[in-house]
Amino acid sequence: MTAIAERSPGPPVTAPEVTMATALNQALADALTEDETVLVFGEDVGPLGGVFRVTDGLAARFGDTRVFDTPLAESGIVGTAIGMAMNGLRPVVEMQFDAFAYPAFEQITSHLAKLRNRTRGRVALPVVIRIPYGGGIGGVEHHCDSSEAYYAHTAGLRVVTPATPGDAYMLLRQAIECPDPVIFLEPKRRYWSKQATVLDHAGTNPKTLDRAIVRRPGSDVTLIAYGGTLGTALEAADAAEEEGRSLEVIDLRSLSPFDDETVTASVRRTGRAIVVHEASRFCGYGAEVAARLSEQCFHYLEAPVLRVAGFDIPYPPPHLEEYHLPSVDRILDAVDRLQWQETSPAVRAGG
Amino acid sequence: MVPRSRKPEELLPTGAPLTLVDADGRAVPSAGLAMPGDEALLALHRKMVLARRFDTQATALTRQGRLAVYPSARGQEAGEVGAVLALRPQDWLFPTYRDTMAVVCRGADPVEVLSLLRGDWHCGYDPYEYRVAPQCTPLATNTLHAVGVAHAAKLKGEDAVALVMLGDGATSEGDTHAALNFAAVWQAPVVFFVQNNGYAISVPLSKQTAAPSLAHKGVGYGVPGMLVDGNDAAAVYAAVRRAVASGAEGGGPTLIEALTYRIEAHTNADDATRYRDQAEVEGWLARDPLARIRKHLIARGLLDEPAVAALEAEAEAEAAALRQRINTGIAHDPADLFRHVYAEQTPDLRWQQQELSAELAAAADDPEVAR
């Protein structure tokens, strides 16, 4: 076994517990403090502090020219952010919920993603679009979409999603410093998750923005998760351990670009892989992961790459969402279907 | 903050379009706008001659296959030139695909400006060099970019105004609504310059809006609207100057509707006879913006026939130079397609670029292909 990763919280005894929402708030505050070109704006992000309170207190602290409420129009928010970035500022804008970002889709895909290319690199657009996404919080319709595949499919965008408070802080700081536009997807159901960690990104490698991380080392199967499903994947790994199966859990963090190095190293070692996400299966992000693994790890694979994903249905209402979301049992069932009987001992020993 | 005290009547446009020089070249008394000075009028005329020759040359280049497509603005020279000359060097221009004349008038190299229409993948010129955004193809989206640039200028304490060009069709898009609203709430120094040329490709204005005029749309946002004769370069220039000055002095945005007409079809790929009569086109040809300012200048003794002839020779020489330069093909490097997608190339793009290079190298070595 190689490449044992930094496991998630390895807290020093003195580190305080913070939630993901607090970590994001701190990241915004620190970016606003360190870089006077950073602006935070969107709907209800001012005095209210955002519907999830991620921008709590920022308007009071930094003033309403740097942290402000806009008229209610998502296309307007992203379109004006593009203009502000053209004129030397670094806007960090909030879309209130995943499905409410769709009015901004044209601005994101036709302009934000493409202006650098259209101008041969002369116009850079360092814009961060924060989008609370995914379900698991009992939200009503249009409040629980997993929209990552739309953005990951668009050349010119980076798509990042943290799963822990520490990563939320570090990745948001790096996203704000990044010269490319970043779609920053915040898993709603992790907003209140806690971690004892020191929020600091000084000295971190900016490349972390491109890198996946092994959250739990294992030897039999690689579980590939991100955002809201990381917790479920880790729980499944704990349960599998009791049954004698060792599951490695990878947190992708960056959905675009994709960290082939970390993922393929793991899968070549374990020979089996499952992708876990909330989004619908058909043309979902897992399809890309499975395709890449079959292209790059074919001779190492002992079973097809499986997907544990949401159904191909509109996001269900609160009292039915538990049937839709990937669960520990569903992941363990998928583990059982990884053709254990068909593997010859010789191949396993050689793998 | 929002100047709620502004009365609706202060924001309404005039019922008739503001005109300084009528179709016969005569100055209109008490026009409600200040007549530009002699030098400004001569500059407008000169740039309109050059712009028209450029435009007809570009249309001709499509027929020779040198341009993939060209959306002509012939007949709209007063708007294209008048609006641009009214800007100061520090101001920003946000043009659409039909505003190639405006971009050239702003000083960009015509060959660079035509890059995209020649079939290249980029906009050619450096937006920061001329303070001209890339010509925008998706309708009305650039209105928001202009508001963002202008608001950023205001936040940074810069004295800069952004002028965004759009057409009558684009006023129906949601982004125009959002941009007028954002600009008004933020009091951003933006000039919304709408050239109402009567058609959105084939759809006439009557199917586009039921508003009394497009300039009337401003009042709902708290934005003053001005209706001007878009074939009167002097009026366009004076109106835009006033709007730029207002924005620079903290007066926020202005919406200007310039009434004009697209003489050519939407592009060389369009057939305008399917949706409009030749008689209508003839009627507008009789109201030609260039003839109008020329008559005015000649009547005032500011211009004479030899000067016009010299100017037309200059325009002809520029067109010849454009023909010559554009006839030398573009050296395309397919690898460039992968170079500017991100600040730093991603591993996928690096690999895909290598894959394409290998494919091209193999094709070059293949005797079948080489032959």
Give the CATH number for residue A255: 3.40.50.920
Domain of B298, in residue numbers: 8-327
**Scanning every residue of chain B, which has its alpha carbon at the shortest distance from the alpha carbon of A86?**
B149
Q: How confident is residue B365, by pLDDT bands cut at 50, 70 and 90?
A: confident
**Scanning every residue of chain B, which has its alpha carbon at the shortest distance from the alpha carbon of A104?**
B175
Asked whether the beta carbons of residue A83 and residue B149 sit closer than 8 angstroms, the reply is yes
Could you tell me which residues are beta bridge partners of residue A216?
A: A249
Are B216 and B225 in contact by the 8 Å Cβ rule? The answer is yes
**Using a CB-CB distance cutoff of 8 angstroms, which residues of chain A are in contact with residue B178?**
71, 73, 75-76, 79
- Residue A291 domain-assigned (yes or no): yes
**Using a CB-CB distance cutoff of 8 angstroms, which residues of chain B are in contact with residue A73?**
174, 177-178, 181-182
Of A236, A239, A316, A244, which is closest to residue A276 (Cα–Cα)?
Answer: A236
Q: Specify the pLDDT at position B5.
A: 60
Are residues A170 and A251 located together in one domain of the fold?
Answer: no
Average pLDDT, stretch A177-181?
A: 97
Average pLDDT, stretch A269-276?
A: 98
Measured CA distances, A276 to A67, A279, A331, A335, B149 (Å) = 36, 9, 8, 12, 41
Asked whether the beta carbons of residue B339 and residue A179 sit closer than 8 angstroms, the reply is no
Sign of the dihedral defined by the CA atoms of residues B148, B150, B151, B153, in that order: positive
| CATH code (residue A27) | 3.40.50.970
> Is B1 a residue whose pLDDT tops 80?
no
Asked whether the beta carbons of residue B148 and residue A79 sit closer than 8 angstroms, the reply is yes
CA dist., res. A179 & res. A124, Å (int): 6
Question: How do A273-280 and A182-187 pair as beta strands?
Answer: unpaired
Smallest Cβ distance to A119: which of B127, B146, B162? Answer: B127
Are residues B202 and B343 located together in one domain of the fold?
Answer: no
Are A253 and A214 in contact by the 8 Å Cβ rule? The answer is no
What's the gap in Å between the CA of A117 and the closest CA on chain B? 5
Asked whether the beta carbons of residue B144 and residue A79 sit closer than 8 angstroms, the reply is yes
Smallest Cβ distance to B145: which of A86, A103, A179? Answer: A86
B170 contact A CB<8A: no
- Residue A80 domain-assigned (yes or no): yes
What letter represents residue B108's amino acid?
A
**Alpha carbon of residue B131 to chain centroid:** 14
CA dist., res. B219 & res. B212, Å (int): 12
Are residues B365 and B310 located together in one domain of the fold?
Answer: no
Q: What is the pLDDT of residues A207-254, one digit of tens each?
A: 678 999 999 999 999 999 999 999 999 999 999 999 999 999 999 999
Asked whether the beta carbons of residue A65 and residue B155 sit closer than 8 angstroms, the reply is yes
Give Cβ neighbours of residue A320 (< 8 Å, ≥ 6 apart).
Answer: none
Q: How much is the mean pLDDT over chain A?
A: 93
- Residue B3 domain-assigned (yes or no): no
B107 contact A CB<8A: no
Asked whether the beta carbons of residue A79 and residue B181 sit closer than 8 angstroms, the reply is no
Q: Which of B131, B241, B242, B262 is catalytic?
A: B262
The residue from B327, B347, B362 where one domain ends is B327
Are residues B220 and B205 located together in one domain of the fold?
Answer: yes
Instruction: Establish, for the pair of chains A and B, how many residue pairs have beta carbons separated by less than 8 Å.
Output: 135
B335 contact A CB<8A: no
> Is B253 a residue whose pLDDT tops 70?
yes
Q: Specify the pLDDT at position A208.
A: 76
Whether B262 sits among the annotated catalytic residues: the reply is: yes
Asked whether the beta carbons of residue B155 and residue A89 sit closer than 8 angstroms, the reply is yes
> Is A9 a residue whose pLDDT tops 70?
no
A85 contact B CB<8A: yes
Of A191, A160, A163, which is closest to residue A175 (Cα–Cα)?
Answer: A160
The residue from A194, A209, A224 where one domain ends is A209
Are B132 and B164 in contact by the 8 Å Cβ rule? The answer is no
Are A326 and A310 in contact by the 8 Å Cβ rule? The answer is yes
Average pLDDT, stretch A276-285?
A: 98
Helix H or strand E segment including B331: none
- Residue A6 domain-assigned (yes or no): no
Are residues B287 and B352 located together in one domain of the fold?
Answer: no
Q: What is the pLDDT of residues B184-221, one digit of tens each?
A: 999 999 999 999 999 999 999 999 999 999 999 999 99
Are residues A112 and A247 located together in one domain of the fold?
Answer: no
B148 contact A CB<8A: yes
CA dist., res. A207 & res. A253, Å (int): 12
B1 contact A CB<8A: no
Q: Specify the pLDDT at position B4.
A: 56
H-type alpha helices, B26-105: 38-63, 77-85, 100-105
Are residues B253 and B323 located together in one domain of the fold?
Answer: yes
**Scanning every residue of chain A, which has its alpha carbon at the shortest distance from the alpha carbon of B120?**
A118
Number of folded domains that form chain A: 2
Average pLDDT, stretch A94-101?
A: 96
**Using a CB-CB distance cutoff of 8 angstroms, which residues of chain A are in contact with residue B185?**
70-71
> Is A6 a residue whose pLDDT tops 50?
no
What letter represents residue B78's amino acid?
A
Q: Specify the pLDDT at position A339.
A: 92
B276: region left, alpha or beta (phi > 0 left; psi from -120 to 50 alpha) = beta
Q: What is the pLDDT of residues B132-151, one digit of tens each?
A: 999 999 999 999 999 999 99
Residue B282, number of CB atoms within 10 A of its CB: 9
Of A331, A273, A275, which is closest to residue A300 (Cα–Cα)?
Answer: A273
- Residue A9 domain-assigned (yes or no): no
What's the gap in Å between the CA of A347 and the closest CA on chain B? 31
Average pLDDT, stretch B97-110?
A: 97
Token pair of A100 as six digits: 């409410």
- Residue B2 domain-assigned (yes or no): no
- Residue B197 domain-assigned (yes or no): yes
Determine the length of chain A. 351
Number of folded domains that form chain B: 2
The residue from A159, A181, A209 where one domain ends is A209
**Using a CB-CB distance cutoff of 8 angstroms, which residues of chain A are in contact with residue B174?**
73, 75, 103
Are residues A254 and A300 located together in one domain of the fold?
Answer: yes
Optimal mutation site among B1, B136, B221, B340, interface A, most CBs of chain A within 10 A: B340
Helix H or strand E segment including B302: none
**Using a CB-CB distance cutoff of 8 angstroms, which residues of chain B are in contact with residue A87?**
148-149, 152-153, 156
Are B107 and B130 in contact by the 8 Å Cβ rule? The answer is yes
- Residue A311 domain-assigned (yes or no): yes
What's the gap in Å between the CA of A303 and the closest CA on chain B? 25
**Scanning every residue of chain B, which has its alpha carbon at the shortest distance from the alpha carbon of A80?**
B148
Q: Specify the pLDDT at position B328.
A: 78
Q: What angle do CA B15, B16, B22 make, to 5 degrees?
A: 165
CA dist., res. B120 & res. B133, Å (int): 17
Asked whether the beta carbons of residue B150 and residue A107 sit closer than 8 angstroms, the reply is no
Are residues B121 and B136 located together in one domain of the fold?
Answer: yes
The residue from A185, A209, A233 where one domain ends is A209
Are A112 and A127 in contact by the 8 Å Cβ rule? The answer is yes
Average pLDDT, stretch B213-241?
A: 98
Measured CA distances, B309 to A178, B41, B49, B264, B297 (Å) = 55, 17, 11, 25, 14
A103 contact B CB<8A: yes
Asked whether the beta carbons of residue B178 and residue A73 sit closer than 8 angstroms, the reply is yes
Q: Specify the pLDDT at position B332.
A: 83
**Scanning every residue of chain A, which has its alpha carbon at the shortest distance from the alpha carbon of B164?**
A83
